[in-house]
Structure 1
Amino acid sequence: MTPKPVINLISPETFAATGHPWEQYAWLRKNAPVYWHDEPNGPGFWAITKYEDVRTISRLPKVFSSYETSVMLPDPDPMGLYAQRLMMLNMDPPQHDRFKLLVSRGFTPKNAPLLRPKIEELARDIVDAVLAKGECDFVSEIAGRLPSGLIAELMGMPRADGERLYDLTEIMHTNDDAIAPPEIKMNAVGEMLGYAQSVADLKRQNPGDDLATILVNAEIDGDHLTDEEFQWFFLLLVNAGGDTTRNLLAAGLQLLFDHPDQRTKLIGDLDGLLGSAVEEMLRYCSPVTHFKRTAMQDTVVGGQSIKAGERVVMFYGSANRDEDIFENADTFDVARHPNPHVAFGAGGPHLCLGMHVARVELAVMFRELLTRMPHIEAGGPIERMHSSFIAGVHRMPIKY
């Protein structure tokens, strides 16, 4: 039997070295797939590490609530819970369904390909801006600029404003109080909410052909988004839209550096393998590490009794390495098929709204990089985000 490692799935230090605590995940899947995890200054939670258990919890919102204590660790205080409940991420049906109908028009599978020309233009501009330098910080100068630029375009904002919002998301997701004390984080949230309100006011006075105009004017059965709802959806859009794409681009590029055989294989059949390579990067890296639910009744998960009121936390990186689902789960394979990963969620009402757009962004940028920077390589050690929620990279020097 493999010796039990120290289990700590809430400290940023746990995620600092490799993005995810793969050794802890593997031990838990084999020995305690539903594991009681103590929480300093909190009630504790059940850590869920098997794929099928994550799927089950995700698809039973009446049993496992996002609204009750929010989806984030730790539990927020009453004022924080009120604010978080304004975000679709922390809603349960039927409230979630009504909200999703209002905001989903820009995120359908049919709409995502229509954005490809704009995404291709953004990717070209981003690479053009750094190509002659021969080296740059991949995260801030390439990976972060694609989603921030696209969000700015979608919302009808100046591109420079999108870059400022990207900086604010970095502050919000940093767990190191020395880098971003609580008051700095609150100021970042306040700045983003204030900016969102200015966008709403502008689009009501001067409607445009953009997502912000759609959102502030959307109506179903007489309902519109309130100012607060728009502000918090805007914050969610910027955070979720930027985090997955930015961090997957950095993590995916690092995978190609670490697996030169797979890089060669991908470049040799870019048209045939780019789609599956992006899905494998999502599976292998899982940018969002976890989300929480609260049991609304006594139930059972993976043979373990769960009492009403107890928290369950789904660890997506572990589910995506589940040996019962993925053959050679720890092997990075750009041709992997099938690949039913849960990097965008495991079904149910909270499947990622922007996943179709994110896939287009990722495919477009990797094509741009591999064709225009064929000799791209690491330019120094990477610096990971100090976060237990986002498996992200803060700085990544590259040469090309």
Structure 2
Amino acid sequence: MRKKSHTGWMLLVIFVCLCVLGGVGYAFIQINKEEAVKTTTLADANPKEEPVAQPVHIIEREVAERPKNQPIEKEKTALIEETLPRVFTIVTTDSLGSGFLYAKGGFIVTNAHVVSGYTDVKVRNSVGREAPGKVIGISDTYDIALIQSDAYKDINPLKAEVNETKVGTEVIALGSPNGLENTASVGYLTGVGRDIRSEFVYEKAYQVDVQIESGSSGGPLIDAKTGKVIGINSLLLEKNRRIGFSIPLYTMTYLIDDWIKNPMNERQVASVFGVYDDYGASNFYNNDSYDDDSSQDEVEEYEGDVYFYEGWLQEFILEFRTVYEEALYNENFYEIEQYLLPGSRAYKEFDDYFDEISGEGMRFDFIENSVTEVIIYDEHALVSTYETLNFRNKAGNEKYYVKEKNYEVVIHTDGTYRIRDVSNR
């Protein structure tokens, strides 16, 4: 009996195990089927989802890896098309040149030699429309001038490069060479720091191999990658016409900005090159200023022409010092402007100094101003002075100064003496 009972139990246990294993296997098969159905359904619902998402990640990665300060480069054709509406042909009755929009308000930069002798010019845009323009700034030292035209006052200007550009930079010159308007020439900046003296002074000039000709003068030289104006096309080498020169814009912005802030009037513009008879050549130091008979005879011999005379030079500098003290008290640079050569080092330094002291409450008390020596050269005179003054700052602290200076004086085209430079002895 015991043996039979044991066999029965064994059969029962085997039967139960088979049932359990069968149930687990069936459940496993069903789960796999459901997962297979789910996977197939998602893929069929949007089979292209993964390829579409791929380019988005590539773009985001490329943008993230670009340096923050790296300028965005443009295709040359697009850059030229954007620039040309801001490049102009400057027309006078006997000359033709180029110019470009420097600042909003219709302020157009060109070369002085393009508009010398004129206060009113015509400004022609890239589609041939002409509009009147007025010269509101011009230098007889640097080959630079500024025109204002209301017709273009609402157009956004070209961007200016404020630093020196490196040799090897690809550049584009735009303008109207030989009257061929809307011309663009591509080349490279092949040299920097060229100092050239001819009719004008060209300091730190850029040397380029772009094709420029007569009529290109005053047009912009732009960086072919950033589109910023880096220079003003001005000169062509006579012996090798493949070499041109451009005035670095960053060296002239102080002068241009000053003209925008304080435009020259028609009389001042006309007097720079002394071409309008209506304004005449007035001699500030007229004959009536002197009682000495010998000086009167000399003036009659020269028939009114201005020349360097020691007595006049002394009086000129002493008068300047008197007016200068009053200008310092009033913090008004333009009270001494008529004594300074436009565009010169002295003009810029005095202008900058007045900007520096404006509103600071400084006081200057000139004690002694005397001329110690006058040396006359062919084209300029050197007047040496001995000067003493008391200076009081905003806090009320005083200091006594003794200065010995050299004033470099030239004869301006309007027939007056002008200070070109001031240096310490």
TM-score with structure 1 setting the length? 0.22
Q: Which structure has more RCO (C-alpha within 8 Å, separation ≥ 6)? A: 1
- Greater helix proportion: 1
TM-score with structure 2 setting the length? 0.21
